[in-house]
């Protein structure tokens, strides 16, 4: 994707970006740490993960307006009690990217037949769509009539080895990806989304408002 976008200019000038992560998680009667505000902080569902990827491909957001809610108002706390949900299971955000493009981020774990996880990039001369977990790229550029599958060369394939890389970095000091700086940027984005959802206003990235340490303080 970086080669197509940055080296080959496949889409031309990037104008529109759509990040979509819509799925349906099964109901549960027990405690799940992903819905515990004290554990998740402001990085909920796959918001930070997909923002980190989008940052590498199309650059960071500089301003965002977001809304968030929980379609399941009750959750099970760590002590087994029922408690009001403080972590959203639905987020919609509109953003302005540093490069001038418009982006949207829509995430939900309450969407039946939601279509999965993808990033779509539309430009002045072409389009690219990456379907996560399916690991499929579709694209079309100037002179083509419709999206077509784009093969991923074996030398450009990369497996999901994040956990192993982290352990190896601790043991040997080897570099990791994302870097600390990349992690900071996507956490700044997550905090801005949470603050916008809390205040109902568009906010800068990084946020200029009071720190938001969890969705519990944002919803």
Instruction: State whether the Cα torsion 189-92-95-128 is positive or negative.
Output: positive
d(CA 182, CA 56): 9
Question: Residue 162: in which H helix or E strand, if any?
Answer: helix 162-172
Q: What is the pLDDT of residues 20-59, one digit of tens each?
A: 999 998 877 788 888 888 888 899 999 999 999 999 999 9
Residue 15 has pLDDT above 90, yes or no: yes
Q: What token pair was written down for 57?
A: 């491909």
Would you list the DSSP string of 68-117?
EE-SS-EEE-TTS-EEE--S-SEEEEEEEETTS-EEEEEEESB-TT--EE
Chain-centre distance of CA 188, in angstroms? 12
d(CA 1, CA 136): 11
For residue 185, give Cα distances in angstroms to 52, 89, 173, 192, 209. 8, 22, 22, 11, 16
* Residue 34 per-residue DSSP state: G
Q: Please report, for the domain that includes residue 23, its CATH number.
A: 3.30.360.10
Q: Which of 68-82, 134-148, 161-175 has the lowest mean pLDDT?
A: 68-82
Residue 209 has pLDDT above 90, yes or no: no
Question: Domain containing 46: what range?
Answer: 2-217
Domains held by the chain: number: 1
Global pTM value: 0.89
Least Cα distance to 126 among 139, 113, 108 occurs for: 139
In this prediction, residue 217 has a pLDDT band, given cuts at 50, 70 and 90, of: low
Residue 218 has pLDDT above 70, yes or no: no
């Amino acid at each position: 994707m970086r080669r197509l976008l940055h080296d080959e200019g496949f889409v031309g000038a990037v104008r529109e970006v759509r990040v979509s992560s819509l799925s349906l998680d099964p109901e549960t009667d027990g405690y799940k740490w992903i819905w515990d505000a004290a554990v998740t902080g402001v990085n909920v569902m796959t918001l930070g993960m997909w923002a980190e990827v989008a940052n590498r491909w199309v650059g960071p957001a500089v301003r965002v307006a977001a809304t968030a809610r929980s379609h399941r108002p009750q959750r099970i706390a760590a002590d087994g009690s029922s408690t009001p949900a403080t972590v959203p299971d639905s987020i919609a955000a509109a953003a302005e990217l540093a490069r001038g493009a418009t982006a949207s981020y829509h995430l939900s774990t309450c969407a039946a037949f939601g279509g999965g996880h993808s990033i779509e990039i539309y430009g002045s001369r072409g389009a690219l769509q990456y379907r996560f977990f399916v690991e499929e790229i579709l694209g079309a550029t100037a002179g083509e009539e419709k999206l077509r599958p784009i093969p991923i060369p074996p030398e450009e394939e990369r497996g999901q080895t994040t956990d192993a890389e982290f352990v190896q970095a601790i043991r040997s000091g080897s570099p990791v990806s994302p870097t600390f700086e990349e992690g900071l940027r996507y956490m700044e984005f997550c905090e801005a989304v949470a603050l916008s959802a809390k205040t109902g206003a568009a906010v800068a990235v990084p946020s200029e408002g009071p720190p938001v340490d969890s969705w519990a303080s944002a919803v």
